[in-house]
Amino acid sequence: MTVLLATDASAEENHTWLRALSQALPGERFVTSRNAAVDPEIDVAMVANPASGSLAGLPSLRLIQSLWAGVNGLLNDASVPADVPLARMVDPAMADAMAQTALWAVLSLHRGFYTCARDQREHRWGMHEQRRADEVGVTVLGLGQMGSRVARSLVREGYRVAGWSQRARSIDSVHCHVGAAALPSLLAQTQILINLLPLTPATVGLIDMHTLAALPRGASLVNLARGAHVVEADLLAALDSGHLEHAVLDVFAIEPLPVEHAFWDHARVTVLPHFAAQTDPRSAAQVAAANVRALREGRALAHLVDRQRGY
């Protein structure tokens, strides 16, 4: 049997993946394109933003292993066979990278480093209030693998951390809240809001004018999940009115962010090029390989997506 690697990555990146995967699965045959319209040899597809149609007409396909954490693109592609088990990537190096990005954004906001950068451009030696970490309320939306890792990292640095999720969670020293009704009062106590929700029909557009208005004046937003969580026009209005202090955005409705977009030159927006957390082929190949071995040996697959729930 054969493993298909279907990505939109460069040849160099695919080469890195193939090397890591071949080392992790020495007995497997890998291909990066299909030999025929109907290829009965392929039983596993490893995918990262595959072209639509790449996974159609594979009669032996038994596992789709995403190399990305987010699978909303795959779920929205009708050509992806809906009856084949789909696994998300749960890569510890990616969770580490996400925690680093979140910590960097929180430190920057808490300690006024974005303000410093504006001051530097104006040659201004500005003074800034210094608060302790335990005086800053940070709320993490989404307490899955990424969100819970981020919340724990912020607790360790002394922040006052709350979390919000669809299902009840328990994380040491994190005030965990559940469900839509709990959100408004939680937002009212939040200085820094970090979005790490999965993108599902229930969370699209969640961060809109109402959510932003529920934050206290001077709060900030850090979006590390998906662009479609945020209503960009509402975010711009909240920044321009002065209600919101700053936004750190790694993801956007359209990526790459169009060159004419208002976010680029906005003094209160930090634009990151969707790189908060990238999959690390060295560790992710091990995770993907473990699932392929489980498939071959008839054991349970890990990190399977619940297509109804959407993640």
Sign of CA dihedral 71, 145, 99, 193: positive
Q: How far is the CB of 259 from its own copies (least distance, A)?
A: 5
C-beta of 164 vs 252, nearer to its own copies:
252
DSSP notation for 73-87: HHHT-TTS-TTS-EE
Q: CA–CA separation, 164 vs 142, rounded Å?
A: 6
Does residue 15 carry a catalytic annotation? no
Q: How far is the CB of 69 from its own copies (least distance, A)?
A: 14
Given 177, 226, 229, 268, the catalytic residue: 226
- Footprint of its own copies (CB under 8 A): 93, 96-97, 100-101, 103-104, 107-108, 110-113, 116-117, 119-120, 123, 125-128, 130, 132-133, 156-158, 255-257, 259, 264-265, 270-273, 275, 277-278, 280
At residue 16, what is the residue type? T
Q: CA–CA separation, 190 vs 234, rounded Å?
A: 18
Q: How far is the CB of 277 from its own copies (least distance, A)?
A: 8
Does residue 303 carry a catalytic annotation? no
In what side-by-side order are the strands of the sheet with 29-31?
29-31, 2-7, 42-48, 63-66, 86-87
C-beta of 103 vs 294, nearer to its own copies:
103
Q: How far is the CB of 278 from its own copies (least distance, A)?
A: 5
Sign of CA dihedral 213, 273, 276, 47: positive
C-beta of 102 vs 295, nearer to its own copies:
102
CB atoms within 10 A of CB 187: 21
Write the DSSP symbol of residue 142: -
C-beta of 126 vs 218, nearer to its own copies:
126
Catalytic residue ranges:
226, 274
